[in-house]
Structure 1
């Protein structure tokens, strides 16, 4: 095997493949809807993957290319190499690398690759003198499987917020998930049972925003795979059970300047937030309706975004309570100053979600937008008149309204690029139309014998 044209990191990956008896590589990428895809190749193809890329048919991937433009090329990022934890007890191992997608005709990055969309947002930030860190808090449910191995909505525990065993019967599952994540390079900060029965949260360390997006995609894969080893089904569906709390993915963001200082921190400000931070959060608030289409991309997402279940629906910010869309968390040190957007849910495409959040915030900085005053009262207790008095708008009530807002917002729509924007809108309008013409069990139970 010749390694003359490889980088040091690529050579290190080849050494790890040999040392760990890796027999297959999963070359991973995501479609525009955030579904993780992969092309599996024998590990002996690793050097070819680095030097030439691996070709695949993109026409079968949601939102990628038309049939006459189907040849695409995967180029793995060696920094993302990790051995899959659920294969480690076997004689050989499997590993994955996250890939960038290239157009075979032009040789340029494919503009429909969500990872590329995020790198474009990062390039804009770099041009403005910033690097970007982010940290998500993805929540998920664990459900029993039936005798055929299919998912049910029966939870395997009766635990609540921060409960311990015996109520929290899934603590062993979370432990195994954490071990698996750590073996893949994650720095896990904490895990706990969430508010609803069967609901859980595992938090991993703040990192640069591209690594964070990669980590969210990996996290969902690992959680599902290890849950399945326990005969459980893990779902990131935002609201799988009616009338209880849904699953969110609160997302923390901060910018750092060229000197490595937190551009969001100002100890002389009442809220310890700099003018840059105020302008950034003002931009996110202004573009919040359009952002919602990306960060809450399913019909089911809007079953979570309703008053009464701790999910944010009001476009405001606060330094004290969690009823607002954006919260300024307490920071023990200047480097930890950040803003937390509380609306995203874990069904979103993490690359697109972080891209539009960042682009909206950067727009606020460029236009020097002024943030409104924080709302320190519980907005959930406001009536409509008081919300109007405070100038508080609400997020879109359904996916159709959110897609309308996305199309009307040039900043957020343009952030998706000329390929992803139209394809995403097309897919989501189709999804919403299918939902609107369907007849649910609730309607049959309510009306069939009444009328």
Structure 2
């Protein structure tokens, strides 16, 4: 009798050998538990922990998962009425909190460095009839990258991730049942460095203990960490990663974000990837995405130009980027408003778009300009020529963030769009304004027919419904700051 993985069409002789090798590794390492983890629509890992003896069978037969996990907003409230007739009519395969099955990739195995005798696997959901769950955000990116491959390209991404690390005031805070709420209260914290001294070595030394935990955790998991830095804001830091292919970069971001939160908490710290933590004096955190296309056959950077295009100067995109690179850049600009909700998906993140804050306000690009939405980096003959998108917040789901870039860039290439001249005044009110709230960003997506068609109308309707649940609760909150403390600071 065939296994569930075989019925899904993913289990061949090579995967069977990988499963058997992993079974021997789990036994040989003396592991006791294996976590089967799945990235939800908000970029947060969920899943189940199996005893080690059950892991090998689960790789073939799957792990049960309630389908409502795909239907929840950031508070964990289900945004669809799953027990009412027609409540999930727009979601084929969903209904009545039915079961899905997680199938893990045996090659994704890691041994977790912060907890004893525990392994970890990345998994994706399938329906019980063996068909893929197309709403799974990793699958959304896989579809986008398949479109890119059909055009003859791969996407390379480098990550610069700002976030905050705080010291927990009580390393084992009492979870008072009388104070329990949905979502729960945020933890009480103190700073690990006082801020307002960018890249200060003394501040790094002061924060070295938690930074070492971040370093050791990332490296033990095999993540391509390049540097750890002190950012401008109090308790704000940054991690920079080597560029990799897009799917690996997205997987790395999910694993890094969730792993460092767990490792730091065990040591008495709280890591927050919330854009603007709920304190009077903070600096917003961004997630700057460096991206370039590579020729699928040769691996050459398709954005690289050998010599400036005749008749151009440094304010022209074609002075630095290849023609294809300019078209991709112009596509990102054309769909910047529509992609915003995938890059900045929380109600909190829009407070970052302020003048002179090293964050964008308008749909503009600049030559090595950190105030512009898109920053073109490199020059003729430079194999590292790339476009940096500065709109993202660190809480974004990386699969959706990257997919939005692919779809926007491909439209620019397909229509051979030309980019306007570079800005030298990104905060002077030039260019179309970016959305200023989560609600505005959702509307901008719904009005972008190219993106709706690329993602699929069904996915856009599903995603916007979940995010509107969050936006409506935020708008109705009696205390917006307390809403953000519980919704984002305690959980993201």
Return the TM-score normalized by structure 1.
0.89
**What is aligned with 2:101?**
73
Distance 1:54 1:333 in 2: 50
Q: Does the CA-based 8 Å contact 2:40-2:69 persist in structure 1?
A: no
Q: What RMSD, in angstroms, separates the aligned Cα atoms of the two structures?
A: 2.4
Bigger Cα displacement from structure 2, 58-67 vs 179-188: 58-67
Q: Does 1:248 align with 2:286?
A: yes
Distance 1:99 1:233 in 2: 26
Q: Does 1:379 align with 2:403?
A: no
Bigger Cα displacement from structure 2, 49-58 vs 289-298: 49-58
Distance 1:333 1:224, change over 3 A: farther
Q: Does 1:203 align with 2:240?
A: yes
Distance 1:441 1:222 in 2: 29
**What is aligned with 1:449?**
none
**What is aligned with 2:364?**
316
Q: Choose the corresponding residue for 1:182, options 219, 222, 229.
A: 219
Q: CA deviation at 1:69?
A: 6.4
5 Å matches for 1:137-216?
137-147=160-170, 149=173, 151-152=187-188, 154-159=190-195, 160-165=197-202, 168-216=205-253
Q: Does the CA-based 8 Å contact 1:294-1:348 persist in structure 2?
A: yes
Q: CA deviation at 1:145?
A: 2.0
Distance 2:98 2:458 in 1: 14
Q: CA deviation at 1:30?
A: 1.7
3-state DSSP class of the match of 2:290? strand
Q: CA deviation at 1:166?
A: 5.3
**What is aligned with 1:353?**
401
Q: Does the CA-based 8 Å contact 1:283-1:361 persist in structure 2?
A: yes
Q: CA deviation at 1:423?
A: 2.0
Q: CA deviation at 1:333?
A: 6.7
Distance 1:70 1:175, change over 3 A: same
Distance 1:50 1:438, change over 3 A: closer
Distance 1:415 1:46 in 2: 37
Distance 1:167 1:109, change over 3 A: closer
Distance 1:4 1:251 in 2: 35
Distance 1:421 1:172, change over 3 A: same
Distance 1:122 1:276 in 2: 17
Q: Does the CA-based 8 Å contact 1:117-1:417 persist in structure 2?
A: no
Distance 1:333 1:347 in 2: 35
Q: CA deviation at 1:272?
A: 3.2
Q: CA deviation at 1:5?
A: 4.6
Distance 1:333 1:137 in 2: 24
Q: Does the CA-based 8 Å contact 1:157-1:170 persist in structure 2?
A: yes
3-state DSSP class of the match of 2:364? strand
Q: Choose the corresponding residue for 2:443, options 395, 398, 404.
A: 404
5 Å matches for 1:17-416?
17-63=26-72, 66-68=94-96, 70-87=98-115, 90=116, 93-105=117-129, 107-147=130-170, 149=173, 151-152=187-188, 154-159=190-195, 160-165=197-202, 168-240=205-277, 241-242=279-280, 244-257=282-295, 258-269=297-308, 271-330=319-378, 334-375=382-423, 377-380=424-427, 382=428, 384=429, 387=430, 392-416=431-455
3-state DSSP class of the match of 1:224? helix
3-state DSSP class of the match of 1:343? strand
Distance 1:200 1:133 in 2: 24
3-state DSSP class of the match of 1:120? helix
5 Å matches for 1:2-17?
5=13, 7=15, 8-17=17-26
Bigger Cα displacement from structure 2, 78-87 vs 414-423: 414-423
Q: Choose the corresponding residue for 1:432, options 459, 466, 471.
A: 471
Q: CA deviation at 1:144?
A: 2.7
**Unaligned segments of structure 1, at least 5 residues:** 444-451
Q: CA deviation at 1:94?
A: 0.8
Q: Does the CA-based 8 Å contact 1:326-1:341 persist in structure 2?
A: yes
Bigger Cα displacement from structure 2, 75-84 vs 48-57: 48-57
Q: Does the CA-based 8 Å contact 1:305-1:312 persist in structure 2?
A: yes
**Unaligned segments of structure 2, at least 5 residues:** 1-10, 73-90, 174-185, 309-313, 483-492
Q: Does the CA-based 8 Å contact 1:102-1:109 persist in structure 2?
A: yes
Q: CA deviation at 1:262?
A: 1.0
Q: CA deviation at 1:168?
A: 4.6
Distance 1:158 1:438, change over 3 A: same
**What is aligned with 1:448?**
none
Q: CA deviation at 1:15?
A: 3.3
